[in-house]
Amino acid sequence: IIVRYPSNETTNIIFEETAKFTCGLIFRMLYEKIGTIEPWVKLPRYQLEKRNLLVIGSGRIGRKVAKLMTPFLHISTFDIKENDYFELKPLIQQADCITIHIPKNDNNVSFIDDEKLSWMKDGASIVNTARGSIVDEKSLYNEIKSGRIKAAFDVFWKEPYEGMLKEFYPDGFFMTPHVASTCSAFLEGCKKDLTILINELKKSC
């Protein structure tokens, strides 16, 4: 059995699409409270460039998100390889939106737990296009149920997701079906990469 990563070209599509999809979710959460059509109500909102975005994880996707959002928001970043852990609390406390871009591993399961969620200010939101298990499900449920924060997730603890947070969809817990990197160009790239691999195998036989 041969296991091979997609080509750099195809992999870059994953990073680009995930980053841009994440930006869409961030905008959705920051513009979530703007008013209603029936009744016709306009709600006051903060100037966007005064809002604070915290990007947790400065890998290839996290860096792209930070770069894309820099013209619109005040950006802070945290990465355990670049920052001291004690820096995280004040960054979370200041953030209007937090976006997660760290890998899933044994050290990161429930990295965003009840303590870190309690640091978030009222009305803030959290976006996750990394892995569901990085956030503690029960802790997030309790915070959203309290009405203090909201979230937008493209990844879950089990998929298709039928868990406890579904009761808050779409207002308190906005969900998309794990599609951040799934676009036609990515699928075409995978097909192209597989064709190249098959041809290489044929030549070696």
Block residue for tokens 């969620």: 117
CA distances, 193 to each of 11, 30, 165, 180 (Å): 11, 38, 38, 20
Structure tokens belonging to residue 15: 């990073």
Give phi and psi for 173, each to the nearest 5: -135, 95
Give me the active site residues, please. Answer: 131, 159, 178
Range 4-38 burial, b when 16+ CB lie within 10 A, else e = eebeeebbebbbbbbbebbbebbeebbeeeeeeee
Torsion, CA 83, CA 89, CA 93, CA 95, rounded to 10: 30
**What distance lies between CA 104 and its chain's CA centroid?**
13
Residue 106: closest CA among 131, 124, 74, 123: 131
Residue 53: closest CA among 21, 98, 102, 91: 98
